[in-house]
Structure 1
Amino acid sequence: MASKTRLSAQKQAHALHVGLNEVSADGYAGWTGPLAACEFDAHDMAAIAKSQGMKSTLLLTKKATRAKVLAAIRSSAKALAAGDLFFLSYSGHGGQVPDVSGDEADKQDETWCLYDAQLIDDELYFELSRFKAGVRVLVISDSCHSGTVVRAGPPQPGTASQRPKLMPPTVARRVYSEHQAFYDKLQLGVQKASGNAVLDPDTALAQVAVSGRLTAIVHKFNPTVILMSGCQDNQFSMDGDHNGAFTEQLLKVWNHGQFKGSYASLHARVLAAMPPAQSPNLFTLGSAASFLKETPFLV
């Protein structure tokens, strides 16, 4: 009986690792967005998860569809309880669609470019909000997914071994034009499901929810979230031959588990090692103070 009690009290951890070296031309107006290191990034994040005793799901390129990614997130949301951990990593292109649910006509919603179609940030954070109170959610995103990249100007072309993880704005406009009804319906569906409140997850994650509109979203967020992303809003995450630039530095600092410190210090060390043109960001949502002090990836 005592053994069963201890077993039932053990913390669980699920991990989902998504890496795309290309996308489907059918879903992206003929663009395939070839990259080199995103599958490597996903495998390396899965190796970290395995070393910490996590149960992982790995979705690479053609398997990284909207349906499979959403199904994996929803499965973990149902299974995990207070004290458990959900580790989600993404490596691939970031994109944009016009925001049709917000209060700024020219605002762009950020996306992850999954194989068959984009996953909008509103959708992602709504799905994460379904996790139970007390669940710790860690998101590591090595992509360009900023709502301000157009205002920042186009990225540098990079080199043969370094490419920006960004769906070009011209492609983004074509994709949206060809699939406008689909993406508009997704945003409005999330808005309706959240009680018609306007979702602004980036602002919420930056902990500047000072308006009633934003507070209406934040106070419903039961889990605790740490999001470590590859760059600032006006920058671009770079791909490489073996890892993305952000993931490469994270792996070096982590050093096969030899790193001794917290999530906060892990981010600080990675940030210090990156060039000024790409400064990884750190966001939190919920009561994250104690989560930030934990040993990274600890179940």
Structure 2
Amino acid sequence: MENGKKRLTLLVGCNYPNTQYELHGCVNDVVSMRDTLVSRFGFDPNHIELLTDQPGSSVTPTGENIKRALGEMVDKAEAGDVLFFHYSGHGTRIPSMKLGNRFRQDEAIVPCDFNLITDVDFRHLVNRLPKGASFTILSDSCHSGGLIDKEKEQIGPGSTRDTKGEKSLSFRPKTIPFQSILQHFSSLTNINTSDIATHLLALFGSNSSLKFRLPLIEDIDFLKPDEGILLSGCQANETCADMNPIVAGGKACGAFSNAVQTVLEKNPGKLSNREVVMMTRKVLNDQGFVNQHPCLYCSDENADSVFLWQL
């Protein structure tokens, strides 16, 4: 792959202030990432869009706004461009029926208005890329493994566990259980159903996820070779940690985002996507997060390509 001509970036941090789901480090995560992209990787600040739900934000990270910004990035992309999306916030797993009576769990991120963005939405974005452009997603959210539907797993579920469990850590999981999301939607729609698609379509209509709007979603060509690269903060069945200021050295942050920053600071040279994920796993393990295993999903070639095509 050649070096990119443009580097188009969307950074999204959701703290969900003044709600029962409030987090504390997500906005800090994406602000720190913006500084790193400019100072280390030479990204143009004019090509970096930042969406947060902190007080005073002119554009908040609703599902519609996030998808609009992602879609505009893909629309602007040309061959050789680098697209980067860093998300820090809640994630969830959605039960969905596929192929008769067999159920599976699908991954989604939770924008500040709960208009879920699913693995199918990210797959659709990757499929729209022009040939030669790449799309790297760094997702610091629970259940983020597999967030690009059908992307090949390069570094997956951890094979070992510390039987003693995690150290005494103070953090909050960055997850909202499906039943909590369902109850939230039911209170807004007054519809008595456990079908989340019914609620989402009633609330968001055409702005809801493709997963709930396309009845023949399985017919979409997901398996063609692509340039999607996912660095997930954990496996699909795990949670990511939101670290409080005491543990994080004075500033709240996501454990995964902080570990990535630590890896980049300690290794000023070029790193492959594989190296970033493996080193981040070690940092988290050393910090005591033994049940959070970052993963890598991408093609064989992109697993060993340079993270963000650093020049």
State if a TM-score over 0.5 links the two structures: yes
How far apart, in 2, do the equivalents of 1:40 and 1:104 lie?
43
Q: Supply the distance in 1 between the matched residues of 2:100 and 2:297 (Cα, whole angstroms).
A: 23
Instruction: Tell me which residue corresponds to 2:258.
Output: 248
- CA drift at 1:67: 1.6
Residue by residue over 1:93-152, the C-alpha shift from the partner in whole angstroms, topping out at 9 and shown as x without a partner, is 00233325665553232211101122122122212321212111110000102589xxxx
Other-structure match for 1:236: 239
What amino acid is the match of 1:57? E
* Counterpart selection for 1:71 from 61, 68, 71: 68
Does residue 191 in structure 1 map to residue 209 in structure 2?
Answer: no
- Secondary structure class of the residue paired with 1:126: helix
From 283, 286, 297, the counterpart of 2:297: 283
Contact 1:97/1:172, CA 8 A, preserved across alignment: no
Question: Which secondary structure state, in structure 2, belongs to the residue aligned with residue 173 of structure 1?
Answer: helix
Structure 1 residues 160 and 253, CA gap change in structure 2 (3 angstroms): closer
Please, which moves more after superposition, 165-174 or 88-97? 165-174
Match of 2:310 in 1: 298
The match for 1:225 is: 228
Displacement of 1:240: 1.1
Residues 21 and 10 (structure 1), Cα distance of their counterparts in 2 relative to 1, 3 Å cut: closer
> What is aligned with 1:204?
none
Tell me, yes or no, if the aligned pair for 2:62 and 2:113 is still in contact at 8 Å. Answer: yes
C-alpha distance in structure 2 between counterparts of 1:236 and 1:89, whole Å: 17
Q: Deviations over 1:223-254 (max 9, x none)?
A: 40110011112221000132211111110110
Structure 1 outlier segments of 4+, above 6 Å: none
The residue aligned with 1:210 is: none
> Is 1:56 aligned to residue 66 of structure 2?
no
CA–CA distance in 1 between the matches of 2:276 and 2:122? 24
Alpha-carbon spacing, 1:97–1:176, altered in 2? closer, same or farther (3 Å): farther
- Confirm or deny: 8 A CA contact 1:253 1:259 kept in the other structure: no
1:107 to 90, 99, 104: 104
CA RMSD of aligned residues (A): 3.1
| Structure 2 residue aligned with 1:202 | none
- The aligned residue for residue 270 of structure 1 is 280
**Residue type of the alignment partner of 2:305:** K
* Residue 95 (structure 2) pairs with residue 98 (structure 1): yes
Distance 1:263 1:236, change over 3 A: same
List gaps (5 residues or longer) in structure 2. 55-59, 147-164, 190-195, 202-207, 245-251
Residue pair 1:101, 1:188 contacting (<8 A) in 2 also: no
Residue 297 (structure 1) shift: 5.2
Q: Distance in 1 between matches of 2:303 and 2:81?
A: 12
CA distance in 1, matches of 2:95, 2:200: 9
Q: Distance in 2 between matches of 1:147 and 1:290?
A: 17
Q: 1:102 and 1:236, CA in 2 relative to 1: closer, same or farther beyond 3 A?
A: farther
* Aligned counterpart for 2:16 among listed residues 15, 22, 25: 22
Secondary structure of the residue aligned to 1:15 is: strand
Deviations 1:278-297 (A, max 9, x none): 1111111xx55156322545
The structure with the greater share of residues assigned to helix is: 1
